[in-house]
Amino acid sequence: MTVLTLMRVIALAAAVQVGVPAAMAAAPEPYDPWPGLVQDIFNSRPMLDGAGIIAIEMPVRAEDAAIVPVTLRTTLPPGDGRRVRAITLVIDQNPAPMAGRFELGPESTVSEISTRVRVNSYTDVHAVAELSDGQLYMSKIFVKASGGCSAPAAKNAEEAKGKLGQIRFRQFAKAGDSASSGLREAQVMIGHPNNSGLQMDQVTHLYVPPFFINEMRVWQDDSLLFAVEGGISISEDPNIRFSYLPQGAKRYRVEAKDTEGHIFQGEWKAETSGM
């Protein structure tokens, strides 16, 4: 070691001791909220590796933090006699981390659910599947986005009020190899501002109170496909697309409720042509 190098080492050690250049000191470990969320949301129940059970897909870097697409896909291996009872989506760093809980009906054939969420800062996003034997399986992904929960609404108040509760239900053929299995897709779209409570009115500069869809149910004939418990992380105009087996169903029914007690309903005949 040269004299010059030795002098630099001594100077660095002395600086760290007196705390002058903080950047040279060891950075603290970043706070990980996940252990606390497991306690709060799942009552500290054990989490198993979700590989082969539950998959989550999101863009690594979101183009718009207020409408980040997310897909949850159940992938139970052949021969596994269990069923997925519920899927919980958790955005760890969001002000209200539990974005949504999707409870599947006892005879539900739903295998994939997609929606759009707000992401408030760089964060891990977890998908937790609860199986019929009570076990929990977890998968996660890291997403780079910020400001989604406080982003201004795309529609003004009058426009949003005019479309409040309007429900659209669309049915599609399932593309690709899944078509041969009889799978179909459907999409539920509800007109609603889904205010997070963190958005500021651009005129009054006051925060807009939280106002969002907190419950939704979708039936296939009289059999529940899934029920949703939603929160402020679901984007404006909630949009849920899902894959399922028609099983000869004749009609589909949707019911949604928001935090002010409004109830929105709709019913549609099953489409058999062009699917």
Calpha distance 262→126 (Å, rounded): 30
Q: Which of 156, 223, 153 is nearest to 194 (CA)?
A: 153
Q: Indicate whether 226 and 188 sit together in one domain.
A: yes
> Is 176 within a domain?
yes
How high is the pLDDT of residue 123?
Answer: 98
Q: Indicate whether 115 and 51 sit together in one domain.
A: yes
Out of 13-27, 93-107, 141-155, 237-251, pick the least confident: 13-27
- To the nearest whole number, what is the mean pLDDT of the chain? 89
Q: What is the tens place of the pLDDT at every residue in 237-247?
A: 999 999 999 99
> Is 117 within a domain?
yes
Task: For CA atoms 199, 203, 206, 209, give the dihedral sign.
Answer: negative
Q: Is the pLDDT of residue 26 over 70?
A: no
Write b or e for each residue in 47-68: b if 16 or more Cβ atoms lie within 10 A of its Cβ, otherwise e. eeebeebbbbebeeebebbbbb
Q: Is the pLDDT of residue 172 over 90?
A: yes
Residue with tokens 């651009």: 202
Q: Mean pLDDT, to the nearest integer, of 44-53?
A: 97
Q: Indicate whether 21 and 82 sit together in one domain.
A: no
How high is the pLDDT of residue 204?
Answer: 87
> Is 63 within a domain?
yes
Contacts of 115 (CB under 8 A, 6+ apart): 69, 70, 100, 234, 235, 238, 239, 240, 241
| Residue 16 banded pLDDT, cuts 50, 70, 90 | very low
Residue range(s) defining the domain that contains residue 6? 1-29
| Residue 274 banded pLDDT, cuts 50, 70, 90 | very low
Q: Indicate whether 20 and 58 sit together in one domain.
A: no
> Is 156 within a domain?
yes
Q: What is the tens place of the pLDDT at every residue in 119-145?
A: 999 999 999 999 999 999 999 999 999
Number of other CB atoms surrounding residue 128 within 10 Å: 27
Q: Indicate whether 44 and 23 sit together in one domain.
A: no
Q: Mean pLDDT, to the nearest integer, of 198-208?
A: 90
Number of other CB atoms surrounding residue 97 within 10 Å: 22
Calpha distance 150→188 (Å, rounded): 25
How high is the pLDDT of residue 181?
Answer: 74
How high is the pLDDT of residue 203?
Answer: 83
Q: Are 118 and 232 in contact (CB under 8 A)?
A: yes
Q: Is the pLDDT of residue 13 over 80?
A: no
DSSP assignment string, 197-253: S--B-TTT--BPPPB-EEEEEEEETTEEEEEEEE-TTBPSS-EEEEEE--TT--EEE
Q: Indicate whether 149 and 213 sit together in one domain.
A: yes
Which has more confidence, 273 or 158? 158
Calpha distance 154→66 (Å, rounded): 10
Q: Is the pLDDT of residue 179 over 80?
A: no
Q: Indicate whether 1 and 71 sit together in one domain.
A: no
Calpha distance 158→99 (Å, rounded): 26
Residue type, 32: D
Q: Indicate whether 4 and 22 sit together in one domain.
A: yes
Q: Indicate whether 17 and 58 sit together in one domain.
A: no
> Is 274 within a domain?
no
> Is 37 within a domain?
yes
| Residue 226 banded pLDDT, cuts 50, 70, 90 | very high
Residue 198, domain CATH: 2.60.40.2470
Q: Is the pLDDT of residue 5 over 50?
A: no
Residue type, 24: M
Q: Indicate whether 14 and 150 sit together in one domain.
A: no
> Is 275 within a domain?
no
> Is 56 within a domain?
yes
Q: Indicate whether 158 and 259 sit together in one domain.
A: yes
Calpha distance 116→183 (Å, rounded): 22
Q: What share of the chain is helix, strand, coil (3-state, %, to 5)?
A: 15, 40, 45
pTM above 0.95, yes or no: no
Token pair listed for 100: 């949504």
| Residue 180 banded pLDDT, cuts 50, 70, 90 | low
Q: What is the tens place of the pLDDT at every residue in 255-273?
A: 999 999 999 999 999 987 5
Calpha distance 261→50 (Å, rounded): 36
How high is the pLDDT of residue 236?
Answer: 97
Q: Which of 60, 62, 118 is nearest to 237 (CA)?
A: 118
Q: Is the pLDDT of residue 158 over 50?
A: yes
Contacts of 3 (CB under 8 A, 6+ apart): none
Q: How many domains does the chain have?
A: 2
Q: Indicate whether 19 and 80 sit together in one domain.
A: no
